Structure 1
Amino acid sequence: MAPPIPLLAVRGSDGTSLLCGPPRCEPHLAFKRDSRPSRCLTFSRDGTLFSWCNGHNVSVVRSADGSIASTFDLPKTSLLDFSPLGSILVTWQPYSKTQDSLQGDPNLQLWDIESGQLIKALYQKKVDSWCPSWSEDEKICVRCVNNELHFYENNDFNSIANKLHMQKVSDFQVSPGGQPSKVAVYVPGSKGAPSFVRLYQYPVLGGPTAALANKSFFKADRVSIAWNRKASAVLVTASTEVDKTGASYYGEQMLHYLAVNGETTLVQLPKNGPIYDVAWSPSSAEFCVVYGFMPAKATVFNLKCDPVFDFGTGPRNAAYYSPQGHILILAGFGNLQGQMEVWDVKKYKQVSKPQAPDATHFSWCPDGEHVVTATCSPRLRVSNGYKIWHYTGSVLHRWDVEAGSELWEVCWQPFLSGIFPERAVKYQAALSELGTTEAPPKQAYRPPALRHLPATPSAKLHEDEPPQNMRPGGEKVLSKSALKNQKKREAKKAAKQEAKPEPLCDPAPISNNRLETSSGDPEADKKIKNLKKKLKAIEELKEQQAAGKVLQKNQLEKMQKEEQLLKELEELQIGQ
């Protein structure tokens, strides 16, 4: 049986529509396009249901035939979501008070989709973590209320089955997969006490030994928690708003690893700088981190937090694994130029390098063969539109909005795992009338003061590193202890260089050959000695430049005299 064709939902100022997905995107014949602008839209986890709010009501339809499942009179709804099994629709609207009700009306509502009846109305003032979190079998539902976690069982919201009492729980994440369910809890530090993340297995939530794992740290104003698909480990990105050392405008980030067997560690990153993205592989056996000052590094780590493969440096700030986990795309969106690097994860071989400038959205199609990039408003109000790509770099479909209109959101229809099998990776670009958009090679920037001078191959403006498999001699990735020692050596070397003042004149070279031959002419010997001294100093400057040091103007001018000095030395030695 052939796998289904995914749908693509498109929301904009011209309304909401469903399109039959790649390679072409034609209107879904069973879905009647809604011409009224939508506030939000969402699919159920298995993709069988689709819901949107057009400012008049909330509609739920079946994706296959477009038939209406339920309609709710909720014109102010701003956010929508389904429970994992698609039995409950969650709606949220901004909290407000009225003269008739000083407390305000409940703004978080849970609806039974089959009957259309209201299950529970709750108060949720903050938009952060607005939606309750379910286990995949819907046996457990968790909400954060007044800095503590409330647990409900079997969608019975009239009674709280369990509570997790802790000091000001700020964030949490329920594990994917079936029972037993686990939950990761973050508590920010206060009054000199450290912040910490703990893992619990429901229903064992109390007592000093209840936690499966515990990791404490000081540098954290907020955290991002990510479970792997098998619910065996968690990655926690801890961030501070301000870097007190002044090294980064983006604050400071640290990456922590916690496993349900109790193991915890700080992931050692070989390059200093921000952590832009962390992505788990669908296999749950490894994860990719994009980090470091630009050009950023990207490295794949295993569950021991040892490096597996280093992709070198490049203009990137995001990592996206395909749903099957066989392809990894490293991309640079936002303030970067939209370059994408497509990698075969099993062979660690680059497949293509397309470019999607001005893209504000990226997502994989569930088939693992196609992706969509979009330029959406209000992030960018010009050049709104989307493109459907094959991962080999071919643009299969392109749509640009008409003048005066805006594109707000595009969203793939999700499918359950296993619906689309993994296919062999292709390296030849797929056929397309729109062609490919390979990123053109670019010349390195040269300051105006150096543009009149000949370009030197050894000059480097950035610490560019090729991928691990393209380095001379097949350079290996260092272990955690080796990385730690390397960072210590680099820091010590940098401190010595900063403490050492720049010499005002060229240092005199030390000659290993103390018994130099004499020509019998003291004046000629003196000139030869001075010329060799200058040439030695030029050699040292060239070595410093090759190592990446930025030379001063007088040092560069000195290097330009090398040929003249060699010619003078040759004439003096011939005349002896």
Structure 2
Amino acid sequence: MAPPITLRGSQGLWMVGGPPNLQPLQEFKGEQGNRVRVMTYSDNGTLFAWSNGENVTIVNTSDLQVCQRIDRPKVLQMKFSPLGTILATWEYYSVDRESNKGVPNLFLWNVETGELIKNFIQKKQIKWAPQWSPDEVICVRTVNNELQFFENGNFDTVHTKLQLQKVVDYCLADSGPPYMVAGYVPGVKAQPSFVRIYKYPNFGGPNAALANKSFFKADTVQMIWNKAATALLVLTSFEASDSSYYGEQGLHFLGSNGETSLVPLAKNGPIYSVEWNPKSTEFCVVYGYMPAKATLYSMKCEPVFDFGTGPRNFILILCLCGFGNLRGNMEFWDVKQKRLINQSQSPDTTTFEWCPDGEHILTATTSPRLRVGNGYRVWRYTGELLDQVLVDKETELWEVLWQPSPELRKKETVLRYKPAVLATPDELPGVKGGVYRPPQSRNQAASVKLHEYEAPSNMKQHSQEPSKAASKNKKKREAKKAKAEQEALETGSANSYSQVSNQQVPDMVATPIASTGNPETDKKIKNLRKKLQQVEKLKEQQKSGKTLEKNQIEKLKSEDQLLKELEELELG
């Protein structure tokens, strides 16, 4: 049985059971009215807390009974430590008028006793929460351009520090020991930005960093560790750009073994979503101008599988979604078999969350993103809609959460389904509206397609056919070769021509070039092919008796080296 779902809105705070019992849980008292500002679960799902503007209430999820109340009326943010022993709360920063000093607004509470452990001053709401290792042995927070580390719940003494000049962001890996932490320092003037990986507590010395990746054009970064803490993905964003109104983004790979790389993307445009698989061996990226492309990569940043293009901007494990300004298209994939399980649509979705059992998902339309049509839907990975609940028009739904369950996450879901055929959004049932067309063009076949969708890589082999231009060029090359062979036979030099023709690269520019996934590499291959075509023309001129200049003769001598470079680039 799936764990329950918790909902927060203008009606109050309430719970409903997970599939198959999707009914309100009467044993949970909850709250009435619109006073609940924030709610959160512990990582292990054993504790649930919320703030109603008067106090913070903590309940034990095993019996839904209150186990602690903390008298803090102005709490706006909350977070449990991984084992649920500490609750961190944050309030707006303020200054005492008499002393003209800042008042502590970050508090750490003992969940068992309700006593205050430690308070700090944390001015900014962004990145307000401390980060713990999964076993709670170490805890880290940033203070004045340095990272301060505490051990074993002792917050009175800073155990060690990582000093990086002007560090603005950090990310502690969700694993260990050994514990890994990454720090980000933005670039200044002509200096590049960089991200470095360290192993706790080895922070001293010039060679302390396990990996270092520098880059330009980065106003903000998002750091994403895999579960094994063996690799880190860094998503960079740069607002000012001459090439795009929406700015530029880049995706960088850092390994804890020191390897770094720029993740090659086969399509220009923004990066919408990045996600590691649970086994930490592969990651998936949704990127490019619409229709967006989705690609699965290995730990060497090599494309493993191409899911083609579609209306997507979000990925969660094996579901590719198109939310926000898209129609809510959802594609469920069997990643092991590289098969499409099903396609569904959940319009106006603002929240998407997997159930811990790996079989059900929760989609919701919430305020303030959308103030009309608020409600939630529960689905199965096969695309079956199990339940749909819409709140009253005068009511708003603010947040929905599925109770965490580590035990269910450890179980691998056995997929049972009948493979589906990939369809475009217009072909899916239940879609209302469509693209606007002027009255004189209605009820007629469209002459121009707005988007040309690309099939997944395992379907391209069966669907792709050579274009007319490629077929025409191929016929020309074959006719040219046959003519040359006939001339060689007539002059009695067929053997010598055969030896030369094996090295020729005829009509290389006209031949379609398969992309390597790296724009720079594709550009080099194109240039080499042009040079080899020039060499072929020079050889023909020399054969016809024309006297070549010195630089042209040198170009002929470079043919072997050009062929070798081309072969190395194409083989990767």
TM over 0.5: yes
Aligned with 1:28: secondary structure? coil
Per-residue deviation, 1:482? 6.5
Structure 2 counterpart of 1:462: 451
For the residue of structure 1 that corresponds to 2:148, the secondary structure is strand
In structure 2, the partner of 1:352 is 342
| Residue 315 of structure 1 pairs with residue 311 of structure 2 | yes
Map 1:466-545; keep pairs closer than 5 Å: 466-473=455-462, 480=516, 484-486=520-522
Alignment match, 1:386? 376
> Is the CA contact 2:356–2:408 (under 8 Å) kept in the aligned structure 1?
no
Is 1:290 the equivalent of 2:290? no
* 1:63-142 to 2 correspondences below 5 Å: 63-142=61-140
Contact 1:353 1:439 (C-alpha < 8 Å) held by counterparts: no
Contact 1:312 1:465 in 2 (8 A): yes
Residues 23 and 397 in structure 1, CA contact (< 8 A), matched pair in contact too: no
**Unpaired segments of 5 or more residues in structure 1?**
322-327, 430-436, 494-576
Is the 8 Å Cα contact of residues 132 and 143 (structure 1) preserved in structure 2? yes
Aligned to 2:535: none
Amino acid across the alignment from 1:376? T
Amino acid at match of 1:348: K
Amino acid paired to 2:295: T
2:339 partner letter: K
Aligned to 1:538: none
Aligned residue for 1:469, secondary structure, equals: helix
C-alpha distance in 1, partners of 2:121/2:413?
Answer: 46
SS, match of residue 17 in structure 1: strand
Structure with higher helix content: 2
Give 1:478 deviation, angstroms. Answer: 6.8
Q: State whether structure 2 residue 250 is matched by structure 1 residue 257.
A: no
Could you tell which deviates more after superposition, 298-307 or 442-451? 442-451
Query: Offset at 1:177?
Result: 1.5
CA shift at 1:463, angstroms? 3.6
Structure 1 position 313, deviation (Å): 0.9
> Aligned pair 1:11/2:8, yes or no?
yes
Name which of 335, 338, 345 aligns with 2:328: 338
Give the share of equivalent positions with the same residue, in percent: 51
Residue 147 of structure 1: CA displacement? 1.6
| CA deviation profile, 1:14-48 (whole Å, cap 9, x unmatched) | 11112221233222243212114310000111000
Say whether residues 1:232 and 2:222 are aligned partners. no
- Cα 1:285–1:408 change in 2 (3 A) is same
SS where residue 232 of structure 2 aligns? Answer: strand
Cα deviation code 1:529-555 (max 9, x no counterpart): xxxxxxxxxxxxxxxxxxxxxxxxxxx
Q: What SS does the aligned partner of 2:458 have?
A: helix
Q: Distance in 1 between matches of 2:109 and 2:375?
A: 34
User: Can you list the C-alpha shifts for 1:264-299, whole angstroms capped at 9, x where unaligned?
Assistant: 000010000111111111111100000001111010
- Residues 101 and 52 from structure 1, CA distance in 2 versus in 1: closer, same or farther, beyond 3 angstroms? farther
1-side partners of 2:365 and 2:125: how far apart?
A: 24
Measure the CA separation in 2 of the matches of 1:390 and 1:318. 18
The farther-off stretch of 395-404 and 105-114 is 395-404
Number of residue pairs aligned between Structure 1 and Structure 2? 474
Distance in 2 (alpha carbons) for counterparts of 1:443 and 1:414: 38
1:461 Cα shift?
3.1
How far apart, CA to CA, are the structure 1 residues paired with 2:514 and 2:144? 45
* Structure-1 separation of matches of 2:379 and 2:398: 19
Offset at residue 94 of structure 1 (A): 1.0
Matched residue, 1:57: 55
Contact between 2:266 and 2:517, CA under 8 Å: does it hold in 1?
Answer: no
Partner AA of 2:276 in structure 1: W
Residue aligning to 1:205? 203
Q: How big is the shift at 1:6?
A: 0.6
The amino acid that maps onto 1:95 is Y
Tell me if structure 2 keeps the 8 A contact 1:24–1:397.
no
- SS of the residue aligned with 2:344? coil
Cα displacement (A) at 1:447: 6.4
State whether residues 237 and 256 of structure 1, in contact with CA within 8 Å, keep that contact through their aligned partners in structure 2. yes
Distance 1:467 1:441, change over 3 A: farther
1:159 alignment counterpart: 157
Instruction: Please report how far the alpha carbon of residue 454 of structure 1 lies from its aligned counterpart in structure 2 after TM superposition.
Output: 7.0
CA distance in 2, matches of 1:92, 1:100: 23
In structure 1, the residue matched to 2:557 is: none
Partner of 1:572: none
1:428 Cα offset (Å): 5.2
Cross-structure match for 2:299: 303
1:267 aligns with 2:263: yes
Change (3 A) 1:120 1:423: same
Deviation for aligned residue 1:397: 1.2
The aligned residue for residue 486 of structure 2 is none
The 1:76/1:466 distance shift into structure 2, 3 A limit, reads: same
Q: Distance in 2 between matches of 1:12 and 1:295?
A: 34
The one-letter amino acid of 2:319's match is I
Partners of 2:516 and 2:522 within 8 A in 1:
no
- Match of 2:167, SS? coil
Measure, in 1, the Cα distance between the counterparts of 2:303 and 2:372.
41
8 Å CA contact 1:268–1:484 kept in 2: the answer is: no
CA distance in 1, matches of 2:432, 2:87: 50
Query: How has the CA–CA distance of structure 1 residues 229 and 491 changed in structure 2, closer, same or farther, with 3 Å as cutoff?
Result: farther
CA contact (8 A) 1:23 1:388 kept: no
Distance 1:34 1:449 in 2: 53
TM superposition shift of 1:191: 2.4
CA distance in 1, matches of 2:263, 2:432: 34
Q: CA deviation at 1:129?
A: 0.7
C-alpha change, 1:100 and 1:268, in structure 2 (3 Å) is: same
Report the CA distance shift for 1:82/1:478 in structure 2 as closer, same or farther (over 3 A). Answer: farther
Match in the other structure for 1:398: 388
Is structure 2 residue 360 aligned with structure 1 residue 370?
A: yes
- SS in structure 2 at match of 1:27: coil
Residue type matched to 1:387 in 2? R
Cα deviations across residues 343-366 of structure 1 (Å, max 9, x unaligned)? 111111111111011110000000
Distance 1:108 1:487 in 2: 53
Q: Quote the Cα distance in structure 1 between the aligned partners of 2:246 and 2:391.
A: 34
C-alpha separation in 2, matches of 1:368 and 1:242: 40
CA RMSD of the aligned region, Å? 2.7
Deviating more after overlay: 13-22 vs 332-341: 13-22
Cα distance change of structure 1 residues 291 and 31 upon mapping to structure 2, 3 Å threshold: same
| Amino acid across the alignment from 1:137 | D
| Letter paired with 1:306 | E
3-state SS of paired residue (1:471):
helix
Q: Secondary structure at the match of 2:382?
A: coil
Change (3 A) 1:360 1:490: farther
Q: Is the 1:188–1:220 contact (alpha carbons within 8 Å) kept by the matching residues of 2?
A: yes
Q: Does 2:180 align with 1:182?
A: yes
The Cα shift of 1:419 comes to 5.2
C-alpha displacement of 1:464? 1.9
Q: Which runs of 5+ in 2 are unaligned?
A: 420-426, 465-512, 530-572
Q: Deviations over 1:143-175 (max 9, x none)?
A: 011121001111111010111111111111001
Write the deviation string for residues 476-503 of structure 1: whole angstroms up to 9, x where unpaired.
Answer: x97857764446679999xxxxxxxxxx
- Corresponding letter in the other structure for 1:86: G
